[in-house]
Chains A and B, each alone.
Chain A
Amino acid sequence: MEIDDQIIFTDNSRLVIESLAQAGADVFIGYPITPANLLYSYASERFPIFLAAPDEITTLQWMTGFSSTSRIPVTATSFPGFALMIESINMAYMMELPMIIILVQRLGPSTGTATIGSQGDISILNGIISGGMAIPTFCVGDSIDCWEISAKAVETAVNLRTPVIILTSKEEMMTMADVDCTKLKKIEQIKRNYFESDDTYVPYKPESNLVPQFLPINNNKHQVRITSSTHNTKGIIQNSTHEALFNSKRLHNKMIKNQNAFCLFDYNEAKKSETLLISYGITSLAAKEAIESLREIGKHVSLLIVKTLFPIPKIIFECVINHKNVIVAEENLTGQYRQILFGANSSKNISGVNEFGRMITPNEIINEVLKYEQ
């Protein structure tokens, strides 16, 4: 380590909350749950507005109310709380109101073990929006991710008018490490654009990027209608008219159309490598270490770390096509992201490194790679 006066010893929860606040998120509403409790605690110090909600449904409802008035709310929870939030996340998604939901994964099923990490909530995120629409879902691995992706989440939520999920896990949010603050990029506060015309405001009329312009619910010049039921561009509830169905489909299409703006990944292609290792979140750190160790013994393997899990980045399949073998390393029982990418019936050249109830080690990944790279 170089001599430097900006080294701190911290958990990543601190970095996530500071980054969100600097990016412009201004309200934290939460119901305490392990292992999201450090985020809650930091937010109580750092956010201009901090509110303790009586439950997770109320949390999301309050957040939606705040968001409708143009604030940018944040919450942090784990699966038991997240499960209660899902209907309300759908509501905010349909209303097109920005907010950030941090999901800190812990060991399930059910209340499981609160103090053991996991990557077990991937499948539920893939189908969280009724109708199968994509919701931007980021996944953080190291401290730099926590810093940069949290700010990116605010930008994405505001620019696309949508709830955004930051997926993480117990070890990422609670393990402490040295962090060189000189490597944390300056974060600009998000600038919000509002409808400024004298014309009639049509709340769900999309712009060319498929995102409608925003006005807060307390606007003094234009009527604002916001609704979570199937609706036309005016925000009037309609029973599956062509216009209303187009509007609902637009919610997915706007994510796909703007996907490149929030598609984050690290790809290191090893020339002549026949094997591609894919990982994300906490396991991506073991994957990086495994790749370094393999390189030391002359085995060069490509590594793709996915940081935007949903909508599924096209880059994944562009990388896959150049390799004969694919390994997906993730800390869950069944290989949830692998199954989402490649189906339940994996071929002999697509395999997973999976663990349940403990972190995957670099050696376990190395062993799987060596099955292909003899």
Chain B
Amino acid sequence: MSNKYLLEEKLPFCKGCGHSLIAMGIDKSLQELNCSPFDVIIVTDIGCHGIVDKCFTTHTIHGLHGRSVALAAGISMSLENPNKKIIVFIGDGGATIGMQHILDAAHNNFNMTVIVHNNMLYGMTGGQQSEFTPLGFKTPTLKEGADHSGYDICEMASSAGANYVSRILTNMEMYKTFTEAITNNGFSLVEVLELCPSYGVKSNPGMKLINIANEAGIPIKLYYNKMREPFKLAVKNAPKPLINEKLFIQPKRNHKLTKPISILISGSAGEGVQTAAELFTQAAIKSGLHATKKSSYPVTVGIGFSSAEIILSPKNILFTGSSCPDFAIVTSNDGLDYSLAILKKAESGQLIIDSSLAIPETKMKILKNGFRSKFTNKFAALFSLAFFLESSEIFPKKVFVEVCSESKLAAKINLEELFELNSVKN
């Protein structure tokens, strides 16, 4: 055999191992295809099959146990070049640990050819069973034989969407199947059944591969050879920068703060706490203040509390947390539950709370208003911040109105009505 793609040195496998036949089959197939060795990328991973890299004259990349398909997927997506033949070697052990990668690659129809070297056990580590070990098949650690059947990778790859799927026995004609698989412009998988001469043959004397396949119900056949379009990588042409003129705020000094203040607004998820806090903070910046907004909420987005800590300062802000707020605004029971400990700890400051809520234990001065009753709950947070601004006069209310008018909120609520003067009830 000529050695255009294989170096003229002995293959590194045990005598009688099917891995040698596969390597020679790939070599013969590539000769048949007559492509440049530099148009071939052989991707291997851990397992006996993976030590073959050094014998190939093609590009080679050797990765982690069971991950060669995922590694090849990255290469395939990036190149997106049907002239580059990406050939992936994986064992049955690797296919066990990396099954998801195979199904995912088949599902996405990444252009590559996967050769599953299925000798039905882990050859490199002493002949342990894999999830491809057929029912009754013996290994050195499974002397009574496997008590359940192995994966049918061909059925699985087919149902996942592979373009080409075939199961074969090791033989000298394998290259024909490999050529079919490699020339299919999409995801191809060839499962090659082998008997490991070191562990499989010794543990199962006299057993024939074809009988194993028949008894296991994994037929030797071509499953699919179709021409579905392979994965196409979406590449954005000149994506827009994330910092652009639309974000620029033109601050005008128009505030009454001489020292930093911190505000805690605490309400319920789904009631616009974060949006209101964001718009309020933006308005503060527009009024010439430095400002930060830190959010807190449970893992589930749509239920439970939602709170925001806002710091406003005439000078640059470093620390963005606050141990005790100067002002606390509570708009719901969830918000009250969340802030109880903070309110109890407070030695001074002001609590602005919805009229419907029980007054918590706190030394803060209390202001009440019906934030939830005047508008729907969705706008309680926004209304409460408008109320706070009116009572505190930190910066002009009209700036807050302007910022809200330019937001998506403008279409959802009558801002004029929301920002009307509200009576303060002690």
- Which A residues fall within an 8 A CB radius of B? 1, 3-10, 14-15, 17-18, 21-22, 27, 34, 42, 45-51, 54-55, 57-58, 61-69, 71, 87-88, 91, 95, 113-116, 142, 171, 174-178, 181, 184, 217-229, 235-237, 285-286, 288-289, 292, 358-359, 361-363
Query: Which among B39, B242, B251, B289 has the highest number of chain A CB atoms within 10 Å?
Result: B242
Question: Are A61 and B67 within 8 A (Cβ)?
Answer: yes
A202-B302 Cα distance, complex, nearest whole Å: 56
B130 at the binding interface (Cβ < 8 Å): no
B250 in contact with A3 (CB, 8 Å): yes
Q: Which residues of A contact B235 (CB under 8 A)?
A: 48-49
Do the beta carbons of A46 and B239 come within 8 Å of each other? yes
Q: Is the CB of A286 within 8 A of B77?
A: no
Bound together, the chains give a CA A48 to CA B236 distance in angstroms of 5
Of listed B38, B253, B288, B321, residue having the most chain A CB within 10 A = B321
B residues with a Cβ closer than 8 A to A are 36-39, 41, 46, 51, 53-54, 57-64, 67, 70-79, 81, 84, 100-101, 104, 233-237, 239-243, 247-253, 278, 281-282, 285, 288-299, 314, 317-321, 323
Q: With A47-B239, A65-B74, A220-B36 as given contacts, are A8 and B62 in contact (CB-CB < 8 Å)?
A: no
Chain A residues, Cβ within 8 Å of B77: 51, 62, 65-66
Out of A34, A48, A54, A227, name the residue touching B299 (CB < 8 Å).
A34
**A58: B residues at CB distance < 8 A:** 70, 73, 100-101, 104
Of chain A, the residue at the smallest CB distance from B74 is A65
A171 to B67, CA, bound (A): 34
B338 to chain A, nearest CB (A): 12
What are the 3 closest A-B residue pairs judged by CB atoms, nearest first?
A: A65-B74, A61-B70, A62-B74
CA distance A326 to B315 in the complex (A): 29
Known contacts A34-B299, A225-B53, A361-B323; is-contact A65 B73 (Cβ 8 Å) = yes
Quick check: A57 and B291 within 8 Å, CB to CB?
Answer: no
Apart from A3-B251, A115-B297, 9 more pairs, CB < 8 Å: A7-B248, A7-B250, A14-B243, A34-B299, A58-B104, A218-B79, A226-B61, A237-B54, A361-B319
Residues of B within 8 A of A181 (CB): 243, 248
Counting chain A CB atoms within 10 Å of each CB, the highest count among B46, B72, B78, B79 belongs to B78
Q: Closest CB of chain B to A316's CB: distance in Å?
A: 22
Of all chain A residues, the one with the shortest Cβ separation from B314 is A1
A5 touches B250 (CB 8 A): yes
Name 29 interchain pairs, CB-CB below 8 A, sorted by A: A1-B251, A3-B252, A3-B288, A10-B243, A18-B241, A49-B236, A50-B234, A50-B236, A61-B63, A61-B70, A61-B74, A62-B74, A66-B78, A69-B79, A114-B299, A115-B297, A171-B294, A174-B295, A175-B294, A176-B281, A181-B248, A218-B75, A218-B79, A218-B84, A219-B38, A225-B61, A237-B53, A289-B318, A359-B319
Which residues in B have their C-beta under 8 angstroms from that of A17?
Answer: 242
A177 and B292 form a contact (CB under 8 A): yes
Given contacts A1-B251, A49-B235, A65-B72, contact A217 B242 (CB under 8 A): no
Question: Do A221 and B253 have beta carbons less than 8 Å apart?
Answer: no
Q: Are A226 and B240 in contact (CB under 8 A)?
A: no
Complex CA–CA separation, A61 to B60 (angstroms)? 16
Question: Residue of A at shortest CB range from B101?
Answer: A58
* Known contacts A63-B74, A88-B67; A14 and B242 CB within 8 A of each other: yes
Q: For residue A88, which residues in chain B have a CB less than 8 angstroms away from its CB?
A: 64, 67
Known: A14-B242, A69-B78, A228-B62. A176 touches B278 (CB 8 A): yes
A169 and B139 CA atoms in complex are apart in Å by 49
B74 touches A66 (CB 8 A): yes
**Alpha-carbon separation in the docked complex, A184 to B250 (Å):** 17
Contact B239 A48 (CB under 8 A): yes
Q: Please pick, from B54, B101, B250, B282, the residue contacting A236 in the complex, using a CB distance under 8 A.
A: B54
**Minimum Cβ distance to chain B for residue A94 (Å):** 10
Known: A175-B292, A218-B41. A42 touches B75 (CB 8 A): no
Contact of A225 with B60 at beta-carbon distance under 8 Å, contacts A8-B243, A65-B77 already known: yes
Taking CB atoms, residues of chain B closer than 8 Å to A10 are 243, 247
CA distance A285 to B317 in the complex (A): 9
- Chain A residues near B250 (CB-CB < 8 A): 3-5, 7
Given contacts A219-B38, A219-B59, contact A61 B249 (CB under 8 A): no
Q: Say yes or no: A8-B299 contact (C-beta < 8 A), given A66-B74, A237-B62, A285-B320.
A: no
Q: For the complex, what is the distance from the CA of A17 to the CA of B243, rounded to whole Å?
A: 10
Point out the residues of chain A lying under 8 angstroms from B36, CB to CB.
220
Give the residues in chain B near A222, CB-CB below 8 Å: 38
Nearest Cβ distance between residue B412 and chain A, in whole angstroms?
21
Contacts of B291 in A (CB 8 A): 9, 177-178
> In the bound complex, do residue A223 and residue B249 qualify as a contact, i.e. CB atoms below 8 Å apart?
no
- Most chain B C-beta atoms within 10 Å of own C-beta, residue among A7, A176, A225, A286: A176
Task: Give Cα A351 to B138, complex, Å.
Answer: 60
Q: Are A176 and B293 in touch, CB under 8 angstroms?
A: yes
Q: Among A48, A178, A292, point to the contact of B285 (Cβ < 8 A).
A: A178
Determine whether the beta carbon of B288 is less than 8 Å from that of A57. Answer: no
A49 to B231, CA, bound (A): 14
With known contacts A7-B248, A9-B285, A175-B292, A46–B242 Cβ distance under 8 A? yes
Determine which residue in A8, A46, A219, A222 has the highest number of CB atoms from chain B within 10 A of its CB, and name it.
A8
A-side contacts of B84, CB under 8 Å: 218
- On whether A226 and B60 interact (CB within 8 A), knowing A3-B252, A65-B74, A115-B296, the answer reads yes
- Bound CA span A139–B288, Å: 30
A9 and B235 alpha carbons, distance in the complex (Å): 29
Residues on B with beta carbons closer than 8 Å to the beta carbon of A184:
243
Shortest distance in angstroms between B388's beta carbon and chain A's nearest beta carbon?
19
* Alpha-carbon gap, A142 to B318, bound state (A): 8
**Given A4-B251, A9-B285, are A91 and B240 neighbors across the interface (CB < 8 Å)?**
no
The answer on a CB contact under 8 Å between A61 and B73 is yes
**Closest CB of chain A to B375's CB: distance in Å?**
25
How far apart are the CA atoms of A88 and B46 in the complex, in Å?
13
Q: How far is the CA of A174 from the CA of B292 in the complex (A)?
A: 11
A68 touches B75 (CB 8 A): yes
Q: Are B78 and A65 in contact (CB under 8 A)?
A: yes
Q: A237 contacts which chain B residues (CB < 8 A)?
A: 51, 53-54, 62
Asked whether, in the complex, the Cβ of A3 is within 8 Å of the Cβ of B62, the reply is: no
Identity of the chain A residue whose Cβ is nearest the Cβ of B80 in the assembled complex: A69
Distance in angstroms from A214 CB to nearest chain B CB is 14
A66 CA to B64 CA in the complex, in Å?
Answer: 16
Asked if residues B70 and A57 are in contact (CB atoms below 8 Å), the reply is yes
Q: Nearest B residue to A184 by beta-carbon distance?
A: B243
| Contact in complex: B323, A363 (CB < 8 Å) | yes
Contacts known (A61-B63, A65-B72); A362 close to B319, Cβ less than 8 A: yes
CB-based contact B319/A225 at 8 Å:
no
Q: CB distance A6 to B67 under 8 Å? A: no
Residues from chain A with Cβ under 8 Å of B64 in the complex: 61, 87-88, 91, 228
* Chain A minimum-CB-distance residue to B285: A178
Tell me the minimal C-beta distance from A130 to chain B in angstroms: 12
Contacts of A49 in B (CB 8 A): 233-236
